[in-house]
Amino acid sequence: MTRVDQLCYYSNMSEFDDLLAHIQKKLKELDEAAGEDKKKRQLAIAERIKFYRGANHFTQEDLAKKLFVTKMAIIRWEKGEVMPSESNLARFKELGIMEKE
């Protein structure tokens, strides 16, 4: 079980808050390490999408509907196979998947 998956199993809010802070810190470190490297950036975005889905208890299909894309697009993004379009990245910022600059 990944740390993101553990979010669903914590009933103690302080444990949940600690885990959430830890995951957010790791995601920020991943973003910073990615820098301008396209593949690393794709993988950082993939982790953010997975985290967002897990934290909000969304399926890939739920998130696809929310973003007006196909489930396959979500799958490919989460695998780091393709980079989301600029318009989708902007939507990620609106939803809180990615931090606003």
59 pLDDT more than 70: yes
Task: Identify whether 58 is part of a domain.
Answer: yes
> Which CATH number is 58's domain given?
1.10.260
Task: State yes or no: pLDDT of 16 exceeds 90.
Answer: no
| Residue ranges making up the domain that contains 52 | 3-95
Residues 89-101: tens digit of each pLDDT: 999 888 888 877 6
DSSP secondary structure letters along the chain? --HHHHGGG--SHHHHHHHHHHHHHHHHHHHHHHTT-HHHHHHHHHHHHHHHHHHHT--HHHHHHHHTS-HHHHHHHHHTSSPPPHHHHHHHHHHTSS---
> Is there a contact between 60 and 74 (Cβ–Cβ < 8 Å)?
yes
What value does the mean pLDDT take over residues 31-60? 84
Q: Is residue 101 part of a domain?
A: no
Average pLDDT over residues 51-66: 92
Contacts of 20 (CB under 8 A, 6+ apart): 7, 55
Q: What per-residue confidence (pLDDT) applies to 97? A: 85
pTM: 0.66
Q: For residue range 32-45, list pLDDT tens digits in order.
A: 766 667 788 888 88
